[in-house]
């Protein structure tokens, strides 16, 4: 009965979304149904939460009479992965998406008091339109509560690569980020419809953009680390199309976050803010299409049904196409914001947005072009060389904008006023570059510049605190400082890992050793290993450097439900890097065990920096939430 109750709640939630839309449409006329908008949004959120909790319960008890549970769970699977199986598949992940979207709409209806009632009603009406498309997708194309008769005895199990604690939390964070961008989209379209594009609308939208950006940052960081340690190939980013599917919304959200902050505080960049809100949502829809349409083959991809892909593609084209048509029709009615000069903080933010947009365009072309070529009968591969050579120079220009931008005054400034800081920053860049070239002459130009710019940005990120009373400095300022410093830390880790990593691929018998970057790694023995739902082998290794010895235990696992072999890397983390060891099957000819070793200098800085960036965003968000709204919304739904 729980499956039927969950499905019924989903249908009722769709009905509430339809009622919410009807209330929004009534605002065009007399607004008689407008009073239903908020209650419908809140009830819709409660019904979706019930539906999703029902699905979690079905996975928890392993109800194999439900097709989704039977296809993505197993009676012997560990409990945490039974729960994670709820969203580790196509239908469950889309139900999570709809649930988060409904909760967001309920939160807007319950808490938002910064914009006038008509704009709020239009926003919730747009949110209902978006929700109805996904409700239709779930109910008619991807029913998560479909029954299976007869029920199997055990279940097929979850993809072993997804049976990892990191993947239990990685997808939900990305979905929350994507849905946050859908809220920003709804605010932008609602403001266009009511012609209320101004600071009040920006202040209402900013927390949602900031929250979405935080969750996208956490999701991408967690996903990168999962791919690094779980897939056993030693890399943290491969420009995989599904990786790019999460990066593109983040790039758009980063640009939008800066733009909406300028509009909220300085009444500038109105058109930029609207356009970026639409682009960010389009990128989240594009990411959804790539992952769930079946056009890509990846451990991240869920659906392989072309009909589902066509459904998602249609939703994406309808939503984004209609929004950009509205943008084209209404942008002429958007009044120009406050003017500013090129040399100003607003000017630096515009430069920042341009560079982010260029990187977004490069990634979008590199991701979609091979798919378009394949559809026309050609096989084209676009890999890391293209992305690295095309994006890194733009990223360096972006870091230059970050060096100078926070120091500039609003509206207008003069470069000469900051000449000593600029000389200092370029001295750091020059000194760092020469030092890297002197001590590691074989390192490439991009790692060298990456390290140099990261060190300069690390210093520059604290400049906005100069001359301030630190106890009275607003939390958003601290958030900006920490986020920019985190970016510098992450770039330093990326550049160091790409420029100085050392690798050793060898075959060892027990008692033999291998060398990598000053480490001596001895294979002591190989023993059987048994887990809850797998069997395998575990290497007993001793790593020695500088007279200190550490134990490593890499594993090779064999899963049976479903059948798959995986490698579990052993990681030894030191302050200046990580020793990474992978044990593979023995060589058939010699009987020796295949061992791959890496020494990756400062690689952990990549994810530590990502966590700092998200922390900075969280501090800024808390600072914004603790402030009182400037103006309460009018209590008349039909007001102009």
What contacts 329, CB < 8 A, 6 or more positions away? none
Give tens-digit pLDDT for 9-53: 999 999 999 999 999 999 887 778 899 999 999 999 999 999 999
C-alpha of 135 from chain center: 23
Q: In Å, how far are 26, 32, 450 from 637, measured between CA atoms?
A: 10, 9, 53
pLDDT category, 633, cuts 50, 70, 90?
very low
Q: Is 557:535 a contact under the CB 8 Å cutoff?
A: yes
pLDDT category, 634, cuts 50, 70, 90?
very low
| pLDDT at site 639 | 34
Q: In Å, how far are 77, 196, 539, 560, 579 from 529, measured between CA atoms?
A: 17, 63, 9, 15, 22
Q: In Å, how far are 64, 86, 173, 565 from 60, measured between CA atoms?
A: 11, 9, 21, 25
Answer yes or no: is pLDDT of 582 > 90.
Answer: yes
Give the residue from 97, 223, 96, 90 showing the smallest Cα distance to 166.
223
What contacts 511, CB < 8 A, 6 or more positions away? 522, 523, 524
| pLDDT at site 293 | 65
Between CA 450 and CA 547 the distance in angstroms is 33
Average pLDDT over residues 579-597: 90
| pLDDT at site 294 | 60
Torsion, Cα 503 509 510 514, to 10 degrees, reads: -30
Please state the φ and ψ torsions of residue 448, each to the nearest 5 degrees. -60, -50
What contacts 384, CB < 8 A, 6 or more positions away? 238, 239
Report the alpha-carbon angle 183-184-187, nearest 5: 90
Chain position carrying tokens 């341009």? 354
Q: What is the DSSP string of 250-303?
A: HHHHHHHHHHHHHHHHHS--HHHHHHHHHHHHHHHHHHHHHHHSSSS-STT---
Coil/strand/helix, residue 128: helix
First to last CA, the chain: 48
Q: How many CB atoms lie within 10 A of CB 385?
A: 9
Average pLDDT over residues 189-193: 94
Q: Is 493:602 a contact under the CB 8 Å cutoff?
A: yes
HEC sequence for 571-609:
EEEECCEEEEEEEEEECCCCCCEEEEEEEEECCHHHHHH
| pLDDT at site 640 | 31
pLDDT category, 304, cuts 50, 70, 90?
low
Give tens-digit pLDDT for 48-69: 999 999 999 999 999 999 999 9
Report the alpha-carbon angle 490-455-247, nearest 5: 25
- Angle between helix axes 199-230 and 241-266 (nearest 10 degrees) is 150
HEC sequence for 522-564:
EEEEEEEEECCCEEEEEEEEEEEECCEEEEECCEEEEEECCEE
Between CA 71 and CA 59 the distance in angstroms is 11
User: Beta-strand (E) ranges in 362-458?
Assistant: none
| pLDDT at site 296 | 59
Give tens-digit pLDDT for 419-459: 999 999 999 999 999 999 888 888 889 999 999 999 999 99
Q: In Å, how far are 93, 293, 496, 563, 598 from 17, measured between CA atoms?
A: 20, 25, 50, 42, 53
Residues in the chain: 640
Answer yes or no: is pLDDT of 258 > 50.
Answer: yes
- Angle between helix axes 2-26 and 117-141 (nearest 10 degrees) is 140
Between CA 520 and CA 549 the distance in angstroms is 9
Coil/strand/helix, residue 229: helix
pLDDT category, 632, cuts 50, 70, 90?
very low
Two structure tokens written together for 292 = 């769930």
- Angle between helix axes 117-141 and 37-60 (nearest 10 degrees) is 30
pTM of the entire predicted model: 0.93
Coil/strand/helix, residue 69: helix
| pLDDT at site 600 | 96
Between CA 20 and CA 101 the distance in angstroms is 14
| pLDDT at site 216 | 96
Q: In Å, how far are 297, 375, 381 from 378, measured between CA atoms?
A: 17, 7, 10
Between CA 561 and CA 360 the distance in angstroms is 39
Give tens-digit pLDDT for 219-234: 999 989 988 988 777 8
pLDDT category, 637, cuts 50, 70, 90?
very low
| pLDDT at site 635 | 41
Between CA 275 and CA 273 the distance in angstroms is 6
| pLDDT at site 306 | 65
388: left (phi over 0), alpha (psi -120 to 50) or beta: alpha
Give tens-digit pLDDT for 99-120: 999 999 999 999 888 888 899 9
Two structure tokens written together for 631 = 């103006």
Between CA 95 and CA 51 the distance in angstroms is 8
Average pLDDT over residues 173-198: 92
Average pLDDT, the chain: 90
């Amino acid at each position: 009965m729980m499956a039927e109750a969950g499905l019924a709640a989903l249908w009722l939630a769709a009905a509430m979304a339809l009622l919410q839309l009807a209330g929004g449409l009534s605002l065009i006329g007399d607004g008689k149904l407008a009073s239903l908008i908020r209650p419908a949004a809140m009830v819709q959120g409660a019904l979706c939460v019930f539906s999703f909790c029902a699905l979690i319960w079905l996975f928890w008890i392993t109800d194999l009479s439900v097709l989704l549970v039977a296809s993505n769970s197993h009676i012997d699977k560990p409990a945490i992965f039974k729960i994670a199986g709820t969203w580790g598949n196509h239908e469950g992940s889309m139900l999570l998406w709809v649930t988060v979207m409904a909760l967001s709409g309920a939160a807007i209806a319950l808490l938002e008091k910064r914009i006038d009632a008509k704009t709020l009603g239009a926003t919730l009406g747009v949110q209902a339109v978006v929700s109805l498309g996904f409700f239709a997708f779930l109910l008619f194309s991807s029913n998560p509560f479909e029954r299976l008769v007869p029920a199997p005895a055990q279940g097929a199990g979850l993809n072993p690569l997804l049976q990892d604690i990191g993947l239990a939390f990685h997808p939900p964070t990305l979905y929350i980020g994507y849905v946050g961008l859908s809220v920003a989209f709804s605010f932008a379209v609602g403001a266009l419809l009511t012609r209320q594009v101004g600071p009040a609308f920006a202040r209402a939208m900013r927390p949602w953009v900031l929250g979405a950006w935080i969750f996208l940052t956490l999701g991408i960081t967690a996903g990168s680390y999962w791919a690094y340690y779980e897939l056993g190939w030693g890399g943290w980013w491969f420009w995989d199309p599904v990786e790019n599917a999460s990066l593109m919304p983040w790039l758009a959200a980063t640009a939008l976050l800066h733009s909406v902050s300028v509009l909220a505080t300085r009444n500038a960049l109105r058109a930029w803010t609207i356009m970026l809100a639409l682009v960010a949502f389009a990128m989240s829809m594009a990411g959804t299409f790539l992952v769930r349409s079946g056009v890509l083959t990846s451990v991240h991809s869920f659906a392989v049904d072309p009909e589902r892909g066509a459904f998602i593609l249609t939703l994406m084209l309808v939503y984004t196409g209609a929004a950009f048509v509205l943008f084209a029709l209404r942008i002429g009615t958007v009044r120009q914001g406050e003017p500013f000069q090129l040399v100003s903080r607003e000017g630096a933010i515009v430069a920042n947005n341009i560079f982010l947009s260029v990187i977004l365009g490069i990634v979008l072309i590199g991701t979609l072009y091979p798919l378009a070529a394949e559809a026309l009968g050609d096989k084209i591969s676009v890999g890391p060389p293209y992305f690295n050579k095309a994006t890194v120079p733009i990223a360096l220009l972006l870091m230059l904008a970050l060096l100078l931008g926070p120091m500039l005054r609003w509206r207008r400034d003069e470069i000469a006023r900051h000449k000593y800081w600029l000389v200092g920053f370029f001295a750091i860049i020059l000194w760092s570059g020469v030092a890297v070239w002197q001590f590691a002459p074989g390192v490439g130009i991009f790692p060298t510049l990456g390290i140099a710019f990261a060190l300069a940005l690390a210093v520059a990120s604290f400049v906005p605190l100069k001359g301030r009373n630190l106890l009275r400095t607003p939390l958003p300022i601290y958030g900006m400082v920490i986020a920019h410093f985190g970016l510098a830390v992450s770039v330093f880790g990326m550049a160091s890992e790409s420029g100085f990593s050392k690798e050793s691929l060898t075959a060892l018998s027990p008692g033999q050793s291998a060398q990598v970057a000053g480490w001596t790694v001895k294979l002591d023995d190989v023993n059987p290993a048994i887990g809850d739902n797998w069997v395998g082998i575990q290497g007993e290794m001793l790593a020695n450097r500088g007279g200190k010895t550490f134990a490593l235990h890499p594993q090779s696992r064999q899963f049976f439900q479903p059948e798959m072999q995986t490698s579990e890397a052993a990681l030894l983390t030191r302050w200046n890097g990580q020793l990474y060891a992978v044990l593979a099957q023995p060589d058939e000819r010699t009987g020796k065990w295949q061992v791959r070793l890496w020494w990756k200098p400062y690689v952990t800085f990549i994810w530590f920096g990502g966590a700092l960036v998200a922390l900075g965003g969280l501090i800024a968000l808390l600072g914004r939430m603790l402030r009182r709204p400037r103006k309460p919304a009018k209590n008349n739904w039909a007001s102009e």
